[in-house]
Chain A
């Protein structure tokens, strides 16, 4: 049998031409042996991330236990080891990136882990007011912007002219939220100043680009004039 595209001679039972990948209409089911065996040699060497993360978790838990025991025997009660436990808990939450294939759940866990670590530090140092009003909402805001940006840029259909304005929009809204939080913390009155100076121009330009990105003619014109 010949491949009608490449002109090379092939075995009668081949379903696709190995050269041009064309499906061969006249393939026959003959008893002819295939050129190679069907056994696949597995060279191994795959990294088992689940196993590694379990081992690391075990090491972390053990070291936490040892710290608590040492602390108890030295001071008679648990004092400084709380910091160590909080840090180890934070690290264990980070290990979820190795354990899970999909990264959204580990991302949520790592945010919770960081909040928890800072909560412990604030609680032990009587700093709950700055934690609740400044740190916690800001960490959440930064986390949100990272997750949204990754999601937007990971999409298969990439459209820079549409994505970049969205990211700028998120950034400017976070600037406003940050200023609100700081105002509430310092003065209990919301009076927006610097965040507006920064975000209004960004918002306007982003909005123009965002709307323009739907117009093919404008996109082409821009490409034509500003290509590098």
Chain B
């Protein structure tokens, strides 16, 4: 891996570089909060050690004649103080050309990734491996290795850098046609500000509730979101009554075995056609369950990303110079991306943290960055019996978040709220 001086972008990453604007880039952020204030010098050392094991994060983005590509770089990204308005576009020059940013606020370590570099799984692997190394250097803590905490004395594995989309491409594929979705409207915040609201929920209590409704946590939380959005649509008397759609990213590693740390995820857009009438929670749950089981399976997902890979392989697309391709891809993202979903709900799932590590950590967080053409997104991650669900929004109004959390409270779940007070 040391010799790999450049790499092609994977299929999912291709769409992100052309959409970069002065004030926008597709970002996501992972945080971990330790028990004690972070020692920056030790963190820098830990980061240097970790990047030697995970060289796929030491790449910069460059523009070729036809496509963007990653070029290997040395050095370290600067460790920056954390801010009230995270996940703004990375200034690559100021970040030593790294495609992820390291930020520290008292006890909290935050990594902000440009999505072309990796997805949630790759990000969590870097975060946990870095945290383990930091704890080892600071407290000499002996924390066992897991699939997400890599051993730094191992050599980088070739499989961690592979483009798994190409590996699992099928014979035929198609990109399903969709209808535009209902979008929330509101007062826009300044272009560098996001309103971030995080709710902390007890996983066991949530599991009990999901058991009562016979569904998974993702299905349940998606249904509550549908319920909240349906209420907003009713309150605003939106006569257009476009369907409410929630885009749910799917980690393809769960279906197609892969240990890549680059992008390997797809998405499904379950929808609720509110023009047919008002749904109850039970009805929404059964809708969501049936739609997810219909869409999330090996064959449908394979055909979806095969369709994308085929589009990438199209000779007309390939010979288009990158300065033209930039506009073509940006327009196709505008027409086919956020237009088709009301919000995005990315549930990373449960992270198994070794018991030896638990005593050093208080919480963990996952949030998605600014959306290009919709009001906001939702990120969710759970560990140590807590679930952290973070709403990021570019509008001032918090009706969606309020309805979502109050519905959980009404169902008997205690929710603790934290916010950056970006909208106040």
Contact = CB atoms under 8 A, between A and B. Distances in A.
B192 A37 contact: no
B415 interface: yes
A1 to B, nearest CB: 10
A37 B84 contact: yes
Contacts of B402: 6, 19-20
Given A19-B405, A39-B81, A45 B22 contact: yes
Contacts of B84: 36-41
Interface residues of A, number: 25
A45 B415 contact: no
Interface stretch (A10-18, A85-93, A194-202, A212-220): A10-18
Contacts of A35: 198, 418-420
Which of A7, A8, A45 lies at the interface centre, i.e. has the most chain B CB atoms within 10 A of its CB?
Answer: A8
Interface in B386-424: 398, 401-402, 405-406, 409-410, 414-421, 423-424
Given A6-B409, A8-B405, A16-B424, A43 B89 contact: yes
A8 B192 contact: no
A221 interface: no
A17 B409 CA distance: 15
B405 to A, nearest CB: 5
A19 B417 contact: yes
B193 to A, nearest CB: 8
Contact of A21 (B405, B417, B420, B424): B424
A41 B85 contact: yes
A44 B82 CA distance: 17
B211 interface: no
A185 B416 CA distance: 80
Contacts of A43: 22-23, 88-89, 91, 191-192
A20 B196 CA distance: 14
A150 B405 CA distance: 45
B409 A37 contact: no
Nearest to A21: B424
Query: What is the interface of chain A mostly: helix, strand, loop, or mixed?
Result: loop
A219 B85 CA distance: 48
Interface in A59-109: none
B83 A39 contact: yes
Contacts of A20: 398, 402
Contacts of A9: 414-417
B105 interface: yes
Nearest to B408: A8
Most buried by B among A11, A33, A35, A41: A41
Contacts of A19: 197, 398, 401-402, 405-406, 417
A40 B83 contact: yes
Interface string B271-293: 00000000000000000000000
Contacts of A10: 416-417
A7 B409 contact: yes
Contacts of B18: none
B416 A18 contact: no
B86 interface: yes
B199 interface: yes
Contacts of B208: none
Contacts of B89: 43
B36 interface: no
B409 to A, nearest CB: 4
Nearest to B419: A18
Given A8-B416, A18-B424, A43-B89, A37 B83 contact: yes
Contacts of B419: 18, 35-36
Interface in B82-104: 82-86, 88-89, 91
A8 B406 CA distance: 7
A41 B402 CA distance: 27
B106 interface: yes
A41 B86 contact: yes
A38 B83 CA distance: 6
Contacts of B196: 36
B380 to A, nearest CB: 17
B407 to A, nearest CB: 11
Interface string A32-55: 010111111111110000000000
B35 to A, nearest CB: 13
Contacts of A38: 84
Contacts of B199: 8
A45 B23 contact: yes
Contacts of B398: 18-21
A17 B420 CA distance: 12
Contacts of B106: 33
Interface in B320-374: none
Contact of A11 (B22, B81, B406, B418): B418
A17 to B, nearest CB: 8
A36 B414 contact: no
B415 to A, nearest CB: 5
A41 B83 contact: yes
Contacts of B420: 35-36
A10 B424 CA distance: 15
A41 B105 CA distance: 14
A186 B206 CA distance: 88
Contacts of A40: 83-85, 192-193
Contact of B82 (A7, A21, A37, A45): A37
Given A21-B398, A36-B82, A45-B22, 17 more contacts: A7-B409, A8-B417, A9-B417, A10-B417, A18-B423, A18-B424, A19-B401, A19-B402, A35-B420, A37-B83, A38-B84, A40-B192, A41-B84, A43-B22, A43-B89, A44-B22, A45-B23
Listed from nearest, the 10 A-B pairs whose CB atoms lie closest are A18-B419, A45-B22, A19-B402, A36-B420, A7-B409, A41-B83, A35-B418, A9-B416, A43-B192, A43-B88
7 contacts: A8-B406, A18-B417, A18-B423, A37-B84, A39-B81, A39-B83, A43-B88
Interface of A: 3, 6-11, 16-21, 33, 35-45
